Amino acid sequence: MSRELSPAELMQALRRLTPARIGLARAGASLGTDEVLRFALAHAQARDAVHTAFDPAPIAAALTALDLDVIEVQSAAASRDVYLRRPDLGRTLSGESRDLLSQAGATGPDLAFVVADGLSARAVHEHAVPFIQALLPLLARAGLRVGPAVLAREARVALGDEVGALLGARAVAVLIGERPGLSSPDSLGLYLTFAPRPGRHDAERNCISNIRTAGLAYAEAAHKAAWLISEALRRGLTGVDLKDESGPALTAQPAKERIGPA
């Protein structure tokens, strides 16, 4: 015979469904020791994500295996310290990198990828390649020409505007490590911009956030991205005028955990 869950049991069941800090144990007027230690660990993981150095080599090798040309560039921020203190420098290419892309020539692809460390190199290390691997077949099915993948150090989202313009890309998709939260130090974001060029505003981009194994699954994120990219190219716009109407991906979804007794 079923019985009602106690408040403590219900909260324990809810906590199994989310990494959010709910139902925290208390000791008098303060948090319990375990909760304080877990918070300190999450804070340390977020700090580590921000300061972890970007290692493009394994990503370059994996993308080359997917038949993508790879170009490595650096923003105008010469170091991590400068990058964190001067966000503006992360939005433009260094002179050397600008020359490198200029020499590569404007190939005019439908889409160019920029894989950027952003504020969490960990997110890029763990999720950029499997997400691109899930997305490429959908782009091929739509008949889109994909240009080189540009791996960018010390980069902000707007760096993609300059990269896309130099490559002559119709659209650019920036995959970037998002600002770490206290439960998500590995969140990958995608920012899509049609007709990229320096001076584009954030309102002219579409964003897909929280791409990671504990967030938005690769297949679902790829489904949304493919729809947005195709519609952006068809309509000639991105941003606030392009709403995500992709609907759910037709993939098998895991059964949701049930709260309470059977």
Determine the angle formed by the axes of helices 121-141 and 56-65, rounding to 10 degrees. Answer: 10
In which residue are the tokens 């967030």 written? 215
- List the beta bridge partners of residue 203: none
163 is in an annotated binding site: no
257 is in an annotated binding site: no
Q: Label residue 210 left, alpha or beta by phi (over 0 means left) and psi (-120 to 50 means alpha).
A: left
Tokens at 102, concatenated: 């200029």
Burial 107-137 (b: 16+ CB within 10 A, else e): eebbbbbbbbbbbbbbbbbbbbbbbbebbbe
157 is in an annotated binding site: yes
CB 128 within 8 A of CB 177: no
Tokens at 85, concatenated: 């203190």
Half-sphere exposure of 139 (CA within 13 A, CB side): 23
- Single out the residue of 49, 52, 51, 29 nearest to residue 41, CA to CA: 49
Residue list, annotated binding site = 157, 178, 207
Residue list, annotated binding site for adenosylcob(III)alamin = 157, 178, 207
